[in-house]
Each structure stands twice: as C-alpha cells, then as structure tokens.
A and B are shown apart, each in its own frame.
Chain A
Amino acid sequence: MIRSAKITNFRCLRDVEVTFEPLTVLVGPNASGKTTLLQALTPDASWGPSETWQKRGERPVEIALSIDGRGLVALPSGGLQYRVMRLDLEALRRPNQVHVAHELSADGANLTSAFATLPRTSQAEVARQLCGLVPVFSDVDAPPFSSGHLRLRFRDRWAPSVDYSPNDVSDGTMLVMALLVLQHQKTPVDVLAIEEPERGLHPWLLGEVIKVLRAMTKGEGVPRKMQIILATHSAELLEFVEPHEVRFFGRDTTDGSVRVQEAPTRTPEWCAAFDEYRRSLGEAWLSGGLGGVPGA
C-alpha cells in the first residue's frame, strides 16, 4: 500500500505531499490536479522536461512514494502493480472479438471479453451482484453476437424472454458492470485508481458501489487487498466515505500550483463543526470550508 507520495516539479504539482488510506477519495474542481496526481503515481513512468512545473525544465521531476514493506521508493521503479481506470461509456458497450482477457483495460473497451473470460462461478457472482444493484435485470451473460464477437446481454427481470444489448441499458449499468468485473481480475493490482466512478449512478447506488470497492480494499471477494483511489466531483459520493479518507484539491491563487488539504479531523473544533453539517461530508465540502472548490 502506498502510504504517501511526495511530488516535486511535475506539471501543476509543484510541491505536493499526499497521504493515502486503503480507500482514498480525491475531490476538487476541474483542472485541480487530481488526474495529474494519478499519473504521477505510475511506477514505471519517467518524465521529461516538458512535464516539469510550467514546462520550465529547470529542475527534474521528483516523485517518491512511501510504500508498506519497501520504505521510500523513488520513481520510476518497478514492483508496484498500479492501474488507472478511465472507463469510457462508449467503449464499455462495444462487442468484443472473442479473446482471453484476464484484465479489464483502462477504458473498459474489453469489458465483454473480460467478463466472458471469468470462471463461470465468477460470472454468476457478477450477474448476481449486478442484478442486486440494478434490479430491473435478472441475469447478464455474453453470448456470441456475430462471427467471432461477443456482446453483453441483459435479461429483463419481469419478462424473461426479453433481453437488452449494452446500447439499450443505462450508463450506470455499464459502469457498475465494469466495477464488478474488476473484483475478479486474475492478476489483481496493488493500487487501483478510478476516475469519476460516479458517472451515471443514482446516489443510492453510489453507496453500494463504495461498499464493493471498500470490500476490495479489505481483500474481501478478491485474491488480495487492493488499495483504491477515486477521483470524483461527486458530493453524493462523499456521503459514503469517511472524512479522513478524502483529499481536497485546489490551486494556489498566487502561482497556480496544486494544494492538497485534508479535513482537519484531529482539531478540537472538527466534531462540533461537522455536527453543524449533520455529519454530511458532501455538504461540508460544498460549503467551501474544506478546500477543493473552484477559486481555491
């Protein structure tokens, strides 16, 4: 598990130190550095002068991670299985050529193959979970669609003879399907970062998705514990995580460099202040008092 990252001189991350939990949520306005941070954590990437602070190239990019069992590790370095998922709602719907896919690709374009490659028990588990979360369906499978291709098929809960193709189902359904398949990767990663997991999801469903992801951080239902980092704009999502799990991203108004703040949960005034907000982290965030809002 990554405990912390110190990033210097990388794009807008001029001098940033971020700590991580088993489940960490990054929030902030557009262009506040969340995606840049996820890129910075890529273990084996090396960055040239054009990736330095304000493209000055005066000093090199320096990224150091504190990792359990390995101490301080300067990047690039091998050994950490890290993946950033930017699930593409169009790509998720594509029929896939028949092939073995033990890993879901970053954009999810091989979702059908990744699902079809799972053992039957895992497929059944994914179908069971999906139908629990999106209870308009009673089953999902991936039958042949045309020569050499597979396509996901969703069965209507009330009309068993009626099926739906990916183009007929909601964005949220496709996204949930992809997140559920992630649990069954043959080679699970150490750190999984997911950008905007809330897209298209009803707020109630968000809580269930967070439960699935949190279980993965505990090693439940997956071969081993997986650290998860989410980047989001969703105040609703924050209602399902703990204040200490959130990092608030904003820009320094003097030079545009990224500032990362944590909720001041250890201060004496935190509990009383949070109570005023009825312990709604989403509302507390949108007050602007925690950072991570436009103009910060």
Chain B
Amino acid sequence: MTHRVVLYAEGAGERRGTLSMLPAPGEALPEEALGAGHILVRRALERACGVPPAATRFEAPLRLRGRMASGSDLHDGISLRKLLTWFNRSQQPHLAVVLVDADGDSQRKRRLEAYVATLPCAKVIAVAVQEFEAWLLADVKAIQATLGSHRPFVGPAEKLAPRVAKDELNAWIAASPSAAEQGGDPSDLRRAIAGRCDLDVLTRECPAFADFVSDLRSC
C-alpha cells in the first residue's frame, strides 16, 4: 500500500532536491525533488512503522498564497493550521510531517502540537535540536564517507549552540572534493548524507530524532 506523506520543513536545505518547479499540491514529488529531510523521514518511517521506502510517496505540500511555506510560517499557529488543512479528504495525506528547528526554544514542539491538535489529519511535529543540520552531523563516519573530507569533532550534535551545526555542515561540504565535482550544489550531498547515516547512531546522538521516530510509531 502506498503511504502518502507531505513534509513541511523550514528551509530549502531540508526540502529541496534538484527540481526547480514542483508539482501541484497532492501530486507526487519525483525522487529528484526530494531533499535531505524527505530522505530522513522516509528512513524513519521504515524504522518506526515498517513502511518500505518504495511505498512512501511524498506529495507536494500546500502553499501559503502561492509560495512555499518556510521558517516562521511553520512557527505560526494560523499558518500551520492552514498548511495542515486539506479541503478534500481524498487529498489528505496519510501523514503530514512538520520538521522545524528548535533554535533554542525548548517549548517549540509543545506549542506547535497544541496549535494543530484539533486538526483531523495524522501529523507529527518534529523539532530538531537546535537545527536539522545536527541530524546530518550526528554520524561522522557517514559524513566522511560521503564528503571524502575530515574536520575536527565539534561536539555532540544536539549540544551545539544554534547555527553551529548549520555552519559546520556548510564548512564540511565546502571543503569536500565531492562538492566541486557536483557543481557546488550541496543538495545532493545533504541527501546523500541523509541516505547513508546510521539511524542507530542518529537515534543515540540526537534524542530529538529518537522522539521523532517514537512519535511516528504512535501516530
């Protein structure tokens, strides 16, 4: 059975693949349109719920006045409720995932969950601490294998201050010979890291990711 999933994420780094014009909401996203966030969500779904990766169909998300929702849109209760409201039950996905950064706000997850609690769709609010890049940084071996470069260990991924994980991943990618080979577009490298990282390591290093997997299981 196909598992229809919509992912809302804060930035292009999580949600954007190499396709410039996305399909309309409700249409399937082709593989090349998937970002690192999609790849991790798909793997987490397999781990938590046993959904085979091939059965996960990511669909284009709803928009806000024609533009892709990002950043502060996902922190705003009114906007978030719109994004999780489908006019037609047949169009409603099996699961909507909202992936945001904590950015030092320890109450963010609780608050966002409260905003959308009464909506009928199945949804999971995932809050990366402090940002999504921490999840990509968690498995150093996977990064080294993907990027072909080494950098000094900066500390446990979720213990890093806001923006440090983002900057560190960017620096790592910039120093990678693979980045130059792929025309400098980091999307593919981020996707590759998301596809290669060891989920056991990620779960151990990032309690927020472990929470996300747990939420998927109970959703």
Contact = CB atoms under 8 A, between A and B. Distances in A.
Contacts of B62: 287-289
Interface in B15-33: 21-27
A253 B27 contact: yes
A279 to B, nearest CB: 12
A74 interface: no
B110 interface: no
B63 A284 contact: no
B188 to A, nearest CB: 23
A18 interface: no
The SS class assigned to the B binding surface is: loop
B1 to A, nearest CB: 21
Residue among A253, A273, A290 with most chain B CB within 10 A: A273
B82 A267 contact: no
Interface stretch (B86-94, B160-168, B208-216): B86-94
A286 B25 CA distance: 10
B122 to A, nearest CB: 15
A269 B62 CA distance: 17
A295 B87 contact: no
A137 B26 CA distance: 48
A57 interface: no
For chain A, which range describes its interface: under 10, 10 to 19, 20 to 34, or 35 or more residues?
20 to 34
B87 A270 contact: yes
B81 interface: yes
A289 B62 CA distance: 6
Residue among A250, A274, A286, A288 with most chain B CB within 10 A: A288
A107 interface: no
B183 interface: no
Interface string A254-296: 0000000001100101101110110000011011111101111
A93 B161 CA distance: 63
Nearest to B62: A287
Contacts of B89: 267, 269
The SS class assigned to the A binding surface is: loop
Interface in B81-103: 81-83, 85-89, 91
Contacts of B27: 253, 295-296
A160 to B, nearest CB: 43
A272 B89 CA distance: 12
A101 interface: no
Given A264-B88, A267-B89, A295 B24 contact: yes
Given A276-B81, A286-B66, A295-B60, A263 B24 contact: no
B60 A267 contact: no
B21 to A, nearest CB: 7
A80 interface: no
Contacts of B87: 263-264, 267, 269-270, 273-274, 284, 289-290
A290 B25 CA distance: 9
Given A235-B65, A287-B64, A288-B62, A294 B85 contact: no
B120 A287 contact: no
Contacts of A286: 63-66
Interface in B137-177: none
B22 A295 contact: yes
Nearest to A296: B24
Contacts of B120: 269
Given A287-B63, A289-B88, A295-B22, 9 more contacts: A263-B87, A264-B88, A269-B89, A270-B87, A287-B82, A288-B60, A289-B26, A289-B62, A293-B25
13 contacts: A235-B65, A253-B27, A263-B87, A269-B86, A269-B88, A270-B87, A287-B64, A287-B82, A293-B25, A294-B21, A294-B24, A295-B21, A295-B22
